[in-house]
Amino acid sequence: MNSKKNILITGASGMLGRAISNALENLGYTVFKLKRNVSEGPFYYLENTGHVFLDPSISLHAVINLAGKNISEKRWSTKTKKLLVDSRVQTTLLICRALAKLPMPPKILLSASAIGYYGTNDEKIFDESSCAGHDFLSILAQSWESATMPAQEAGIRTTFLRFGLVLSPTGGVLKNLILPFRAATVGVIGSGEQTMSWISLNDAVQIMLALLTENGVSGPINLVSGHIVTNREFAHCLKKSINRLKLPRIPSAIVRLMFGEMADAALLTSSSVTSLKIKKLGIELQHPKLQSCLSDILKN
């Protein structure tokens, strides 16, 4: 088989996985998906035993690792936090060990991470050269990236996809917000002054495609638009895009009561992140501004 056309994707059933799979197939790539069952294909991961099988007869050009439980799916208990860690760190480590053992390892690994790597700060703007933070999400991202070490040591060009808030009506946080916003049951969170760093799904896919070329970069890349907004600005842009007149404010105390530790880790604190490497790649984003982004992706 033509190895340049073969791409393996983990986490292919998620919003990002579906989008990048479709884009690659439209460009003529052969997309393989890491399955959870031996009978479902040549690449599989048995979670109960930790066994990863990668068919050595199929030469892979690249692997896109997007595996990981949804951070905001449920309130963080000790058990939930362990699942968040294991589904990212342990899974990535096992996959990378298997990649390193292949007789012909892939040339490229794009491995998911998050801008939570930098921690939170109300005043500082982070880029790819910034240091890591010290909270749960930061330590999780650091461990997630470190788990790719077997692949790096095998000579695979490894890029850490530090995703901001990925916006799409088909999944993720935006899909979960549309109905509550239309019903005017959700609006500005807390003070509304906390900052948010986001990117459209289309732009995230465009960047991943660019990273699969010979001109791609290694190390971290922040997948953000660079248009940093406050939560209040985000709420008002979304309100305008769905033609709502008024939105409520949810006090911080209620947010903490509803979400527990997650409230202060992800909802009530600032995350101001830009990307130097997107500029280096020469990519022109389809959605550089929030209002035009929301208006475009929600127009139907």
CATH number of the structural domain spanning residue 63: 3.40.50.720
**pLDDT less than 70: residues of the chain:** 1-4, 245, 300
Query: DSSP secondary-structure letter at 34?
Result: -
Count of structural domains within the chain:
1
CB of 21 within 8 A of CB of 12? yes
pLDDT in tens, 241-260: 988 767 888 889 988 988 88
**Does residue 267 form part of some domain?**
yes
User: Around Cβ 108, how many Cβ atoms within 10 Å?
Assistant: 22
Res 4: pLDDT:
63
Res 300: pLDDT:
62
The DSSP code sequence of 261-287 is HHIIIIISS---B--SHHHHHT---S-
Res 1: pLDDT:
45
pLDDT in tens, 269-299: 999 999 999 988 889 999 999 999 999 999 8
User: What pairs with residue 200 in β-bridges?
Assistant: 167
**Does residue 247 form part of some domain?**
no
User: What pairs with residue 250 in β-bridges?
Assistant: 189
d(CA 163, CA 129): 15
Tell me which residue of 109, 74, 114 sits closest to 95, measured CA to CA.
109
**Does residue 243 form part of some domain?**
no
The DSSP code sequence of 191-216 is TS-SEE-EEEHHHHHHHHHHHTSTT-
The DSSP code sequence of 80-91 is HHHHHHIIIIIH
Query: Whole-prediction pTM value?
Result: 0.94
Res 218: pLDDT:
96
Res 185: pLDDT:
73
Res 74: pLDDT:
83
Domain that holds residue 290: 3-232+256-297
**Does residue 160 form part of some domain?**
yes
**Does residue 192 form part of some domain?**
yes
